């Protein structure tokens, strides 16, 4: 099969199409012919080796973390899927590789794709939708009437998180650039702060939850818009001890990770709020919950551009340069 892979970290031109054997299928695995795959900032971090301490992949490695496609074979213990089913997924972190014609994934990580969406639209959802769900539903347990701030509201994660927070009954604020304010309002945000004209920390106060995808100074300021007892959940800030334990890191690495997050945790504690780092997990069950929201019209994908499969490297460069106007970039195998 054809796949886009890397042979060493940090080699951007080295992302190339190559022929590689089809994946082996275990008893609980589903073999999927990939029709489309989402492109995420996570793919760039993996390519560059930025996460190799916590995600120690064996090279060469097929990239890609989102997919939509058709089941072509099922393992002997598979009960949830049959050949011909149209599915979508974010494979487990140890089994990535959606920039390929075929992928084998555990049946627990897959869900039937929304019938109302195209393959390309479906492929744009799993990683960002699961991240939104695990931040807002699983961890923050957002309730109706709570105030939620979503940073980068027009981005791949932000466009879905804004809609999900609104579906949960929250009062939603988001940050966005001038050109994207109207889009984010259309997605359901009650307040959109144009970061080119205003500093969000001077406008927003007493928020229950902040979902941060930017890190750095934005993360620091986010602590100051929370009310006592509030929480900031970040996918871009320093990992914390809980993540280190969940990842199965060795004791030395766990200590190093804990040190990385010490400063932001201490600042959060001083303000009587909490900080936590989120690295999303694969979950077919949660995708099924999200499918219901999609099919009811409460959540819709936002796709910026679709590239042909043979331009996967160009699609990654497009994301890296920040050229996407809003939402996700997708590659299609058609």
Domain count, the chain: 2
Q: What does the pLDDT look like over 187-230, one tens digit per residue?
A: 999 999 999 999 999 999 999 999 999 999 999 999 999 999 99
Both 85 and 179 in a single domain?
Answer: no
pLDDT of amino acid 299:
98
* 81 within domain boundaries: yes
Q: What is the pLDDT of residue 56?
A: 85
Predicted structure pTM score: 0.96
CA gap 23, 69 in Å, rounded: 15
Is residue 290, in this structure, part of any structural domain at all? no
- Looking at the domain assignment, is residue 291 inside a domain? no
Average pLDDT value for residue range 13-33: 95
Token pair, residue 205, equals 């106060």
Relative orientation angle of helices 262-270 and 251-260, to the nearest 10 degrees: 50
The boundaries of the domain holding residue 37 are 2-125+301-332
Domain edge (last residue) among 233, 261, 277: 277
Q: What percent of the chain has pLDDT over 90?
A: 89
The confidence score (pLDDT) of residue 243 equals 75
Q: How far is CA 255 from CA 49, 105, 165, 250, in A?
A: 20, 32, 34, 9
| pLDDT of 253 over the 90 cut | no
Residue 136 shares a structural domain with residue 114: no
- State residue 123's pLDDT score: 98
Six-digit token pair at 160? 């879905």
- Which residues, 6+ apart, have CB-to-CB distance to 198 below 8 Å? none
Instruction: Return the exposure string of 232-266: e unless at least 16 CB atoms fall within 10 Å of the residue's CB, then b.
Output: bbbbbbbbbbebbeebebeeeebeebbebbeebbe
Do 111 and 152 lie in one domain? The reply is no
The percentage of the chain sitting over the pLDDT mark of 70, rounded to a whole number, equals 99
Is residue 296, in this structure, part of any structural domain at all? Answer: no
* Same domain for 187 and 240: yes
Are 259 and 155 in the same domain?
yes
Residues 180 and 268 in one domain: yes
* 131: CATH: 3.40.50.720
Residues 117 and 138 in one domain: no
């Amino acid at each position: 099969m054809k796949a886009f892979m890397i042979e060493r970290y940090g080699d951007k031109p080295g992302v190339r199409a190559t022929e590689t054997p089809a994946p082996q299928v275990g008893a609980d695995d589903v073999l999927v012919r990939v029709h489309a795959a989402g492109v995420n900032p996570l793919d760039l971090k993996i390519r560059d080796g930025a996460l190799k301490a916590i995600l120690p992949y064996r090279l060469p490695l097929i990239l890609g973390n989102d997919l939509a496609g058709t089941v072509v074979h099922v393992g002997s213990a598979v009960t949830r899927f049959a050949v011909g089913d149209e599915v979508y997924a974010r494979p487990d972190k140890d089994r990535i590789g959606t920039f390929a014609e075929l992928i084998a994934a555990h049946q627990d990580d897959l869900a039937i794709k929304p019938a109302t969406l195209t393959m390309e639209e479906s492929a744009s959802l799993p990683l960002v939708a699961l991240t939104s769900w695990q931040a807002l539903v699983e961890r923050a347990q957002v309730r109706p009437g709570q105030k939620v701030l979503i940073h980068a509201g027009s981005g791949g994660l932000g466009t879905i998180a804004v809609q999900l927070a609104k579906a949960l009954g929250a009062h939603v604020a988001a940050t966005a650039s001038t050109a994207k304010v109207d889009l984010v309002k259309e997605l359901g945000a009650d307040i959109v702060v144009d970061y080119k004209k205003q500093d969000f920390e001077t406008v927003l106060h007493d928020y229950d939850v902040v979902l941060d995808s930017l890190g750095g100074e934005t993360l620091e300021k986010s602590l100051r818009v929370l009310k006592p007892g509030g929480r900031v959940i970040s996918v871009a800030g320093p990992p914390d001890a809980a993540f280190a334990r969940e990842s199965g890191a060795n004791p030395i690495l766990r200590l190093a990770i804990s040190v990385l997050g010490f400063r932001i945790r201490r600042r959060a504690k001083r303000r009587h709020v909490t900080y936590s780092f989120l690295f999303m997990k694969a979950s077919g069950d949660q995708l099924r919950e999200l499918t219901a929201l999609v099919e009811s019209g409460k959540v819709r994908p936002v796709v910026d551009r679709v590239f042909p499969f043979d331009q996967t490297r160009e699609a990654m460069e497009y994301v890296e340069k920040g050229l996407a106007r809003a939402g996700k970039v997708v590659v299609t195998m058609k």
